Amino acid sequence: MRWNQQSTLTPTPGAQTGSASAGAEAGPVESATTAPPAELFGLKGLVRSVRTPEFAGVTFHEVLAKSALNKVPAASSMPFTWTINPYRGCSHACVYCFARSTHRYLDFDSGQDFDRQVIVKVNTPEVLAAEVAKPKWARELVALGTNTDPYQRAEGRYSLMPGIITALAEHGTPMSVLTKGTLLRRDLPLLARAREDVDVEISMSIAVFDDTLQQTIEPGTPTTTARLATVRAAANLGFNVTVFLMPVMPKLTDSMDHLDAALSAIKEAGASRVVYGALHLRPGAREWFFEWLEREHPELLPRYRRMYAKSSYASKEYRAWLSRRINPLIDAYDLRGSADDDYPMTKRGDRTRSGAATSTAAQAASLTPPPQEALF
């Protein structure tokens, strides 16, 4: 059934608040200037590179993608087969972001380039609409937000998500959305309308419940308060919202006071469940995180070097300790989901509307992301 997305898109005043510049989310920037695309010379699909005062320090590289749907490798333990990543790189600038290493495929570094050189696949909605209209499309669940955030600040300029949501819903395709971005509120009416035809899962990532720490380790994200308000807005529309309390960072966010305050606030915001996971540091993210530690918490650097000396993951001992600490709190606040264990084992299943039973977002939360394929 076809339906008009514009009729449901009522912007929420003040929806994008927090440390990311709220004004830049308001809509298209008319005064953008075009810069020579020297950084991406020779990249297929490049249209132009754009810098604009509203996004100081960020360059958007607009590209035309050949496909929108990314197939997850068969060997992956992810419980879904398809993803969409309309953006590469992320101005949220989370120091610990596991996706940092994927920027190296584009000859960018995984540090400042990941935060400031953002690839925008400007034709994603149109390409996706053509892909899901094909007779062979099996209408399996599509996950959004598995690599970089679909509601990062760039979405305020390019507005790709409404077209993506519409294409999926019109063609009977269930979807899950994971984000730190409060711009999600703009599309909640559209997602609610889509939910009448397909399964829609919404998850909000909130790792830090200390304002000072949050502003240093996630400098481009909306505040924790703003994200909790977005959880409430989604819950008020009837969504069973999952909150990703991750990564939990040793000696930074794993105290009883921090965890209890976090779960209390999440419950008050109306979330249905919490999934958690200890920090893991893949190459690319590891170096950037250690540089941050050396600046902000040098006393912790030796401890982290020992813990992550042989693996990207926290030690089994630490994860067991964290489980004993956090699980009673999750139960006390009645935020237990169906797959809340740290790094759960999952199997892929049929994620069409008729077969959807468990939360893809919850199952995928603690798993290692699959290798990132080339974009073009």
By the 8 A CB rule, do 208 and 214 touch?
yes
Cα separation, 270 vs 150, in Å, equals 23
Pairing of strands 82-84, 69-71: antiparallel
Q: Which two tokens stand for residue 150?
A: 């679909």
**The total number of residues written for the chain in this structure:** 376
Q: Which two tokens stand for residue 174?
A: 């269930």
Separation of CA 113 from chain center: 18
Which helix (DSSP H) or strand (DSSP E) does residue 277 occupy? strand 273-278
> Residue 99: what pLDDT?
63
By the 8 A CB rule, do 233 and 185 touch?
yes
pTM for the whole structure: 0.81
> Residue 102: what pLDDT?
66
> Residue 328: what pLDDT?
97
In this structure, the number of other CB atoms found within 10 A of the CB of residue 238 comes to 8
Of 304, 251, 244, residue with least CA distance to 277: 244
pLDDT per position in the chain (376 positions), as tens?
A: 445 443 333 333 333 333 333 333 444 443 444 544 444 445 568 888 999 888 888 899 999 999 999 998 877 767 778 999 999 888 888 888 876 666 555 666 545 677 688 989 999 999 999 999 999 999 999 999 988 899 999 999 999 999 999 999 999 999 999 999 999 999 999 999 999 999 999 999 999 999 999 999 999 899 999 999 999 999 999 999 999 999 999 999 999 999 999 999 999 999 999 999 999 998 888 898 999 999 999 999 999 999 998 899 999 999 999 999 999 999 999 999 754 344 333 334 444 444 443 444 434 333 333 333 322 2
- State the first-to-last Cα distance of the chain, in angstroms, to the nearest integer: 31
Sheet containing 142-144, strands listed edge to edge, beginning at the edge strand earlier in sequence: 69-71, 82-84, 142-144, 175-179, 200-205, 242-248, 273-278
> Residue 21: what pLDDT?
36
